[in-house]
Amino acid sequence: MKFSEAFKTMKEGRGVKLPSWGGYWCWDEEKKTVMMQCRKKDADQEDLLDIRETQRVEYTLMNMQSDEWQIADAVNCPLLGGEATFSFGEAIKYLKRGMKVARKGWNGKGMYLFLADGEDLTKCLSNNGEFKCINSICMKTAQNTICIGWLASQADMLAEDWIFAE
């Protein structure tokens, strides 16, 4: 849903979130403001933050432009006992920010994707600097090896069960 709908939902007393979030936003009727219920590791100051006190204004405003808002519940929100999942498009965005992602449905334990820096790959693979590597999506496999140049299947690209990897 768009933020205008999410805001209306908050005013009706429900929490809302974006798919990848561990926390949620809710309306505080007494303070007449949006309160951001954050995971401890994401909180700049406290777990419950008045939106007017956010230290990451650009990030907050960008989130408000999303059309992927959803009602926070015990299935999709870690703070309420669920698990945050997201689309392949979001997974790519997080890879570009240096985070590790995985499919919830992957069978191998400990598998995840990460973005490898082309400079690091060039240093490892280069023969006296004869070639350069570009950034690459790599996979850490269940066998504890690194697969350079992982390619997504159609199922991976259409999946909505992407999660953050540890």
Do 101 and 49 lie in one domain? The reply is: no
At residue 59, does pLDDT exceed 70? yes
> For the residues of 89-126, what is the DSSP string, one character each?
HHHHHHHHTT--EEETT--STT-EEEEEPHHHHHHHH-
Domain end: 80, 111, 139, which one? 80
Check residue 86 and give its pLDDT: 92
CA 40 to chain centre: 16
Do 67 and 96 lie in one domain? The reply is: no
d(CA 29, CA 159): 37
Domain end: 58, 80, 102, which one? 80
Give the E-state strand segments of the chain in sequence order.
Answer: 16-17, 24-28, 33-37, 48-50, 70-71, 101-103, 112-116, 136-140, 146-148, 162-164
Do 74 and 103 lie in one domain? The reply is: no
> What pLDDT digit, counting tens, does each position of 18-49 carry?
998 999 999 999 999 999 998 766 545 568 99
Q: Which domain holds residue 149?
A: 88-164
Domain end: 59, 80, 101, which one? 80
How many domains does the chain contain in total? 2
Q: Which span out of 10-14, 116-120, 148-152 was modeled with the highest average pLDDT?
A: 10-14
> What pLDDT digit, counting tens, does each position of 106-121 carry?
887 889 999 988 776 6
Do 74 and 101 lie in one domain? The reply is: no
Q: Is 135 left (phi over 0), alpha (psi -120 to 50) or beta?
A: beta
pLDDT-based confidence at residue 148 (cuts at 50, 70, 90) = confident
Check residue 117 and give its pLDDT: 80
Do 63 and 96 lie in one domain? The reply is: no
Q: Which residue has the tokens 């392949």?
A: 88
Contact (Cβ atoms closer than 8 angstroms) between residue 91 and residue 33: no
